[in-house]
Amino acid sequence: MNMQTKPHYLITKKFLPLAALLSASTGAFAQSAEAPTYYGEALYALSRNCAECHRPEGPNLGGVQAPFSVLNFDEAKIWSPLISLRLKDGSMPPWGAHQQHQGTFKNERYISDEDKQLLIDWVEAGSLEGDAEDQPSTHELVLSAPANEPTLAPDGSMWWMGVPDATVAFADPIQVCEEASDWQPTILMHRTGGDLSKHQWAQASEIRPGGPTMHHGTSNYLGVAVPGRGPQVYPDGWGFLLPADPFITLNMHYAKQSGTGTAVEDNTVGGFLFYEPGDVIDYVVQNTIPMNTDIVIPPGDPNYMATHEHTIEEDILLLALAPHSHYRGKAVKIDLELPGVDELETLLWVPDYDFNWQFHYEYHEPRLLPAGAKMHVTWWFDNSAENLANPDPTAEVRYGPRSSDEMMNARYYYTKAEPQGIVVGDPIPESLLAQARRTEQYYRRQQANWETENVSELCGPQVAP
């Protein structure tokens, strides 16, 4: 099994003679010996903070891909005004959790003040190249492999989690016609490889988006594919049950402009990594979505606040938090109240929620929450015209599935705190099977409730997915 590890970048930097800096200098700070250069300093900071995504063949993050490589001077220079802008406005590197959580969640992305300032200085000094001849002898750039190198399956497909044991795909590509703008079909994906005819315990799943218009895809088993999320890979001994079933349900959400030339085809595929007979599953991963569906956001309101509470029924290990709202979502805070403790503890504070980046805040160490613990969830929404993402500041907005509706969900992933000691290959407890099937059926039934556009009317008869 090809597990994910956190990437690390190592660059060794030799002393750059002053003369080399001066001779390479152009731009505003041309005469300054201190102007940072690409090969001198900037590449170092860019590699550490940006190259995880901004590299040749960068990872597809739920439908978006970084538009340039920072490992190439010419590209970095062309993009440098925007690099400076995005560093200043804090939108790059992308990460939502407040600095107070530094060290808490996996794959966190905080840039140090020094690196940030250095890159801004590099741009302002004219994005100087420095001494290119020293590369690569000056810089030994090691981008460690498995985390962000896709694995090539024998059929030619690429997977970030490793070569899947089973794969699923649409029977035919989904055609999202010109007229559609906000379509949420429920699609049964078919087996294209591996064995789904018997119950399987899975350790990892991955959705490979197959079209540019995806807003998100949600599946009981495949997880959630939204911008900013990679594959879902659990630690050894953690997994989820995939009951025998010829189909895997995927609730897709296609959001795009309607009109001439906007039609697209989607070929999303999914894959799983299975445990082998004899492996032991101690922790069966489940997720739940506490939400408040009673929100009514007045037109133009720049700071509508809504809350809800959620009580933990039995001792659990909290694995990850994945809050979700739409374009008007502005900030979210999840506070924890432990039984008998007066003071609340902030589990997660996202001060600047960005719909385009829906992160999965996964703990380094799963967090034990005792029965009776309570989550206090607070969301803030900006329904004013100041919010540039707002589709309609004049609308009164309620909870709903369309992108133009809102949500205030606080999905979290957890397991029972007690190790289960389930041996793969042994009979599966009936209660676990029943529960897995119930959840899958829930996703399968979403079609009736969540179809927001009559796409057959808009696009003509659809091939039954």
- Measured from the CB atom, the residue of 76 and 242 that comes closer to ligand HEC is 76
Q: Nearest approach, Cβ of 206 to ligand HEC (angstroms)?
A: 16
Interface with ligand HEC includes 148 (CB under 6 A)?
no
- Measured from the CB atom, the residue of 65 and 99 that comes closer to ligand HEC is 65
Number of residues that bind ligand HEC (CB under 6 A): 21
In the chain, % helix, strand, coil (3-state, to 5) comes to 20, 30, 50
Q: Nearest approach, Cβ of 7 to ligand HEC (angstroms)?
A: 10
Q: Contact region for ligand HEC (CB under 6 A) — 84-92, 292-300, 311-319, 452-460?
A: 84-92
Q: Nearest approach, Cβ of 72 to ligand HEC (angstroms)?
A: 14
Query: What binding mask, one character per residue, do residues 326-365 give for ligand HEC by CB under 6 A, x or -?
Result: ------------------------------x---------
Interface with ligand HEC includes 49 (CB under 6 A)?
yes
Taking the CB of residue 394, how many other CB atoms lie within 10 A of it? 9
Q: Nearest approach, Cβ of 179 to ligand HEC (angstroms)?
A: 24
Asked whether the beta carbons of 346 and 100 are under 8 A apart, the reply is yes
Interface with ligand HEC includes 86 (CB under 6 A)?
yes
Q: Nearest approach, Cβ of 374 to ligand HEC (angstroms)?
A: 33
- Candidates 67, 259, 277, 460; binder of ligand HEC (CB under 6 A) is 67
Q: Nearest approach, Cβ of 117 to ligand HEC (angstroms)?
A: 12
The distance in angstroms from the start CA to the end CA of the chain is 32
CA distance 13 to 422: 51
Please report, for residues 51, 56, 228, the alpha-carbon distance to residue 44 in angstroms, rounded to integers and kept in the order given.
Answer: 10, 17, 24
Interface with ligand HEC includes 225 (CB under 6 A)?
no
Q: Nearest approach, Cβ of 268 to ligand HEC (angstroms)?
A: 18
Residue-level length of the chain: 465
Q: For residue 448, what is the enclosing H or E element?
A: helix 430-450
Asked whether the beta carbons of 356 and 388 are under 8 A apart, the reply is no
Between residue 377 and residue 436, which ones bind ligand HEC under the rule CB under 6 A?
A: none
Buried b (16+ CB within 10 A) or exposed e, 176-201: bebbbbbbbbbbbbebbbbebeebbb
Query: What binding mask, one character per residue, do residues 198-217 give for ligand HEC by CB under 6 A, x or -?
Result: --------------------
CA distance 336 to 349: 12
Interface with ligand HEC includes 295 (CB under 6 A)?
no
- Measured from the CB atom, the residue of 53 and 226 that comes closer to ligand HEC is 53
DSSP 134: G
Q: Contact region for ligand HEC (CB under 6 A) — 44-52, 233-241, 422-430, 432-440?
A: 44-52
Asked whether the beta carbons of 329 and 399 are under 8 A apart, the reply is no
Asked whether the beta carbons of 209 and 217 are under 8 A apart, the reply is yes
CA distance 323 to 413: 11
Interface with ligand HEC (CB under 6 A):
49-50, 52-54, 61, 64-67, 79, 82-83, 86-87, 92-94, 109, 111, 356
